[in-house]
Structure 1
Amino acid sequence: MDAIDQKIVAALTRNARVSYAELASNVLLSRNAVRQRIERLERQGHISGYTIVRGGAETGELVSAFVLVYRQDRMRGGDVLAALTRIPEVVICEILSGDFDIMVRLEAASLERIRGIWEDIAQMSGVRDTVTALTLSSVVNGRRREATP
Structure 2
Amino acid sequence: MDTMDYKILKCLMSNARNKASDISKEIHLSVSAVLERIRKMEKNDIIKNYTIIVDQKKLGNDMSALMEVSLEHPKFYETFTTSIKKNPNIVSCYYLTGDFDFILKVFCRSSDHLERIHREIKSLEGVSSTKTHFVLKDVKNVYSVIPEIDE
Q: TM-score scaled by structure 1?
A: 0.56
Equivalences for 1:45-124 in 2 at 5 Å? 57-58=57-58, 62-124=62-124
- Deviation of residue 134 (structure 1)? 0.6
Go from structure 1 to structure 2 and tell me whether the alpha carbon gap of 1:59 and 1:76 turns closer, same or farther (over 3 Å shift).
closer
> Is the Cα contact below 8 Å between 1:122 and 1:129 reproduced in 2?
yes
- Deviation of residue 142 (structure 1)? 2.2
Q: Which has the larger radius of gyration?
A: 2
> Is the Cα contact below 8 Å between 2:70 and 2:102 reproduced in 1?
yes
Q: Which consecutive unaligned segments of at least 5 residues does structure 1 have? A: 1-55
Go from structure 1 to structure 2 and tell me whether the alpha carbon gap of 1:119 and 1:60 turns closer, same or farther (over 3 Å shift).
closer
SS at match of 2:116: helix
Go from structure 1 to structure 2 and tell me whether the alpha carbon gap of 1:136 and 1:75 turns closer, same or farther (over 3 Å shift).
same
Equivalences for 1:7-46 in 2 at 5 Å? none
What value does the CA root-mean-square deviation take over the aligned residues? 2.0
SS at match of 1:119: helix
- Deviation of residue 97 (structure 1)? 1.4
What is the number of equivalent residue pairs in this alignment?
A: 94
- Deviation of residue 123 (structure 1)? 1.5
Q: TM-score scaled by structure 2?
A: 0.56
Q: Letter of the aligned partner of 1:112 in structure 2?
A: D
